[in-house]
A and B are shown apart, each in its own frame.
Chain A
Amino acid sequence: MKILGKFLLLAVGIAALFMLLLQVNWVGIFEIKQNQERLEKKLGKLVLDQVVSKYEKIEDDAIDNTLDSIFIPLLKENNISVKNYELFLIKNEEVNAFALPDDKIIITTGLINFLDSADYLAAILAHEIAHCEENHVMKSLVTNFGLDLLLSGSGTGEVTNFITGQAFSRKLEKEADEKAIDYLDEASIDPVSLAHVMELFDAYLTSDTDVTWISSHPAPADRSKYISQKVEKLDSDDKKYITPVTMKTWNDLKEKIELK
């Protein structure tokens, strides 16, 4: 009885202390959300600096205008704040696109050369926007590197490799694909484009082309299947889809990029 009494007293004491601690807004005191945002901005800048130091960043008004014509409507039509986002084009033969922390998206010249139409690029951008909006980059970084690494800010080389490789889990990729369909539909771009992109990647996966974007993702054939299933479910019978830029503008863009 003596032991039971002491045990109960200790249990009540610990429970009371916990209840007392629960009354405090620790998230506010430790500025958890603000610190996460600061960390995301810091990481975004850090990785961007590393990517830019490794590859040439293409800055050309005409190219930027065309890319913005594809990218901005996707954000605006989905009520996503444009000012948070930045799109960068880097000179690299790899067919790759990736989202960085702090809403920065990087696409390669190899990707533009690989794609046949602006719709396909819009589909890939919608997928990357979904990764940003769902905070997949930070979630995956926390999962892969743990809080220690993130808080100490060390091992950025590994972080950069991880982000450029974009090895998200299947669950997150599916989530981004499904979200991308909604974004495309909302922006009046045919969501089937995303399925077509997957078919395109599927066809080229065995070729010599360095398709980094897809090699680290789930099988394109599987993705094409569930994307098509979701597109069929969309209530968009009367909807008229438009292409973000004309075929001529897209081909001009590819030519300009090739000259760079």
Chain B
Amino acid sequence: MEHLERTINFSPKEITENEREYASNSYLMSLFALFVGLPLPIFNLLATIIFYLGNRKSTRFVKWHCTQALISQFFVFFFNTAAFWWTISIILQHKEISNPYIAYIILILIINLVEIVSTIYTAVQTRKGIHVRWYLFSDITDNILKK
């Protein structure tokens, strides 16, 4: 995932302490839930959705980051869910552990690792009021919030 730091839309000076905290928390929320419900991929998504819904009427900066965090969680959720059900099918249907399965699990680990590192980095930066735009997800966020 590529990170492009821009302060075009939001200037740190204009962002209040409260906004910084809420925006940063939207990323931390998904991290916290990820570690709590690690085997079940739904928890981190749910936590982010709840946080997103709670901040729908917040300021533009907070809303923007809640949305970016939510979209990134949807992306990871899609991959993690596939891995979860693949594992369940191996356990319940007595399937062999194959090369494609291990390759997919490694892929998932890489994606999750990138996601976790990016989330921590973004949470730290937004706490400072710096606007961090993620590859693809930031564009989708822009599109959603323009409407």
Contact = CB atoms under 8 A, between A and B. Distances in A.
Partners in one complex: yes
B98 A18 contact: no
B92 interface: yes
B110 interface: yes
B107 A18 contact: yes
B92 A21 contact: no
Contact of B139 (A6, A26, A139): A6
Interface string A76-120: 000000000000000000000000000000000000000000000
A2 B139 contact: yes
Contact of B91 (A10, A17, A27, A146): A146
A174 B110 CA distance: 42
B140 interface: yes
Chain B interface helix/strand/loop/mixed: helix
B135 interface: yes
Contacts of B91: 142-143, 146-147
A247 interface: no
Contacts of B106: 21, 26
Interface residues of B, number: 19
A30 B102 contact: yes
Interface in A1-29: 2-3, 6-7, 10, 14, 17-18, 21-22, 24-27
Given A10-B135, A10-B136, A22-B103, A17 B110 contact: yes
Contacts of B98: 27
Given A27-B102, A139-B94, A21 B107 contact: yes
Contacts of B143: 3
A3 B136 contact: yes
A7 B139 CA distance: 10
Category for how many chain A residues contact B: 20 to 34
B43 to A, nearest CB: 18
- SS class of chain A's interface: helix, strand, loop or mixed? helix
A3 B136 CA distance: 6
B136 A6 contact: yes
Contact of B99 (A3, A25, A139, A147): A25
Contacts of A142: 91, 94
A257 B141 CA distance: 78
A147 to B, nearest CB: 7
Contacts of A25: 99
Contacts of A27: 97-99, 102
A6 B138 CA distance: 11
A32 interface: yes
A14 B78 CA distance: 13
B115 to A, nearest CB: 13
A24 B107 contact: no
Contacts of A22: 99-100, 103
A139 B94 CA distance: 6
B92 A3 contact: no
Given A3-B140, A147-B91, A18 B103 contact: yes
B136 A24 contact: no
B104 interface: yes
A22 B102 CA distance: 9
Q: Which 8 residue pairs across A and B have the least CB separation, nearest first?
A: A26-B102, A21-B103, A6-B136, A139-B94, A22-B103, A3-B139, A26-B99, A18-B107
Interface of A: 2-3, 6-7, 10, 14, 17-18, 21-22, 24-27, 30, 32, 139, 142-143, 146-147
Given A18-B104, A26-B103, A27-B99, 9 more contacts: A3-B136, A3-B139, A7-B136, A17-B107, A22-B99, A24-B103, A32-B102, A143-B91, A143-B92
